[in-house]
Amino acid sequence: MRRNGSRAIAAGACATALLTGASLLTQPATAASTQASAACGEGGYQAEAVLSGSTWTVRRGGSVVHTGTDMRAAMQAAVNSLTSGRTSKERVVVRGSGSMGAGSRVSLPSYTVLDVCGTINVTGSGSGDQAPVYARGVRDIEVQHLNVTGAPLYGIFLRNVQNVVLGQIDMRLSRGLGVRIDNRGDTSQWTRNVRIDSVYASGASSHAVETYGVDGLTVGTVTARDVGESGLLLNETINATVTKVDADGAGTGTGYAAFRMANRNGRVGSSYPTNIRVGEVIARGGGRGVFCVSESGGAVIDRVTISNTGNNAILVENCHNVNIAAQGGSVTGGGEIRLAARTEFANNSDITIQNLTVTNSAVTENPCGNNTTFRNITLVNSRQNIC
């Protein structure tokens, strides 16, 4: 069924959906978190790891607590020197660059701020959930600056955490996944209140940024260059706001997308109130541009600029209450805009595709969804086959 005109979302349903994350998302920034936008290493700290020549020296206040040649050991010693059992944040500054094995990690306990003014180059091999920066089952942590090169399993791995700030993250990799934040250790508990200011990821063999089981997510910009899978992948994540996803060559030769929602992303209880808000998606080449799949939805994407994707420019498959190009956008070349469905899930419902200029491509809906709206679509050397 094709509809014209605007669609209203029940205010009560939306308000209910947003309650779980609203109080978290509106928390004021702490003094430590405001330093994420400052130059690396500025401001006060409780412990410092400094490289001079080939030797790392770790100081807590006026005391030297560690010396050695291993960057990972120095970073962990600095973290471990902070006040035991603390209930407010303490900060570690790392000054220098070095190497770390892919089978190792620096673990952050609760109430820890880490600022790395240098580059961690990850070498060798490993297995499991190893990452240069790792945290599990903790709260109130920050990574203000972090540069990673080489071949990590994950650049940052956070599981079952609360109140997280990632500031300026730069990962120029030869394999691995950039940032993974999930609740898969204890799925009865959401990972809550995550803020990511800026991630640049290139060369990863998997995603630039992936979440799973997060309630309350705020993302500034994810920039993905030639990553093997998605630029930003949200799984089973609710109450999320994303300013921009900018992907070039994300998921080339695959069905992954610059921006992908999967595994009931945006589903609150058994409904799909609008709770995923994305300002802009840019996709050049790669696999897909925007992909919504597997009972996901509750999403508005304001603007899209998608060109020359090898797979679908946009694919919406078994999703509900999704509004793409609410403010405008374009699809040029590459794969078509497609609304589709697998038989194992309910068909698409309440999908709006609008305000698009489609050039050298196509728009296809098959099978017909429930309450689908195509509005203000300008076709340039393109065909349309909709219900």
3-state secondary structure the chain: CECCCCCCCCHHHHHHHHHHHHHHHCCCCCCCHHHHHCCCCCCCCCEEEEEECCEEEEEECCEEEEEECCHHHHHHHHHHCCCCCCCCCEEEEEECCEEEECCCCEECCCCEEEEEEEEEEEECCCCCCCCCEEEECCEEEEEEEEEEEECCCEEEEEECCEEEEEEEEEEEECCCEEEEEECCCCCCCCEEEEEEEEEEEECCCCCCEEEECEEEEEEEEEEEECCCCCCEEEECCEEEEEEEEEEECCCCCCCCEEEEEECCCCCECCECCCCEEEEEEEEECCCEEEEEECCCEEEEEEEEEEECCCCCCEEEECCEEEEEEEEEEEEECCCCEEEECCCCCCCCEEEEEEEEEEECCEEEECCCCECEEEEEEEEECCEEECC
pLDDT of residue 37: 66
pLDDT of residue 38: 87
Which residues in the chain land under pLDDT 50?
Answer: 1-36
**What is the per-residue pLDDT across 181-220, written as a single tens digit (0 to 9) for each?**
999 999 999 999 999 999 999 999 999 999 999 999 999 9
What's this model's pTM, rounded to 2 decimal places? Answer: 0.91
